[in-house]
Amino acid sequence: MGRAKEAAKDGRGRRWRRLGTWECATAAAGLLTSLLLLFPGLVPNGGPRLGSLLETFLPWLGLAVLPLVPVALVRRSAVAVGAALLPVAAWTVAYGGTFFADENAAYDLTVLQHNVSDENRDVAGTARALVRERADLVALQEVTDDTREAYRTALVDEYPHHAVVGTVGLWSRHPLVDARPVDVKPQGIPDGWNRGLRATARTPHGEVAVYVAHLPSVRVSATGFTTERRDESAGLLAAAIRAEEVERLVLLGDLNSTTRDRGLDPVHSQLNAPKDPFAFSWPASRPLARIDQVLVRSGQVTQVSTLERTGSDHLPVRARIAF
């Protein structure tokens, strides 16, 4: 009898140790996910730029809870259930408030931002989709020599004022003055690479400096997240914005980044971003991130959304701005 009790006790002890180790692993996974959701800056950004990579797709980190929930239910462990609920709470803290935004908030301007793609085979259809929105300003990237005139012709009736520099363009209902290039070209890129412009829009609400930019692309490779050229270009753009004398300013562009990416801090630190981190714009077939941005100085983006797909690999982004 004594040996039977001792064996049963040893069995329970072994089971407790196995369950304790498993629970600790589950709790650690839940805690780590929660910390990264709330404090992504904990991930260093040197070398392979893992911090920027995490911040680009940060809302999706909440999916890490999916394997924790069924396991917790199967094991019927309070610790495991708590570990699964912790990331849910963290995600709700980080993003839950965006679902209660006032879509009817007052605004002064409606703007459209769209990388139309240099491989777009439906330029006319893309232009029609933009015109239907009746926005005040329309910013385009990847406007080529072959498509520039087609966009001008398609948009001119609705947007009689426009400026194009290199592959970026701005179309406006309101007069544009002082249009000029903005140098955002990193070192090592050949001459002729022009992806920045600035113009003053004379709107019914006063003069607004409008910047249109297309920062260099980034790539995920075996060596990490290649953002060096984009970050250098962002620094040049930030310097131009810092020197801008017109107080009200709107930046429209494909920045190849989300507003959480610390690689764009020189730009983001000067401007106000939409509170909504969603409205993913890329890739158009299955959007994973909003890399097409609308940022404002001396105002707020009160609402941001994406439109239906055009012939581009990006979705158009529509935003409302209040100064």
- Give per-residue pLDDT as tens, 11-47: 444 444 344 666 777 788 888 999 999 999 999 998 8
pLDDT > 70? residue 147: yes
> Residue 276 has what pLDDT?
85
What integer is the mean pLDDT of 242-254?
A: 98
Helices of type H across the chain: 2-38, 50-56, 68-75, 78-95, 123-131, 148-155, 228-243, 265-268
Residues 136-153: what's their mean pLDDT? 97
pLDDT tens digits, one per residue of 49-104: 999 999 999 999 988 888 777 766 766 677 777 877 888 899 988 888 777 767 77
Task: Indicate whether 122 pLDDT > 50.
Answer: yes
**Domains of the chain in sequence order:** 2-99 (no CATH), 101-322 (3.60.10.10)
Of 227, 236, 237, 232, residue with least CA distance to 258: 227
Q: In the chain, count of helices (H) and strands (E)?
A: 8, 13
Sheet holding 137-141, edge to edge: 161-165, 168-172, 137-141, 109-115, 317-322, 300-306
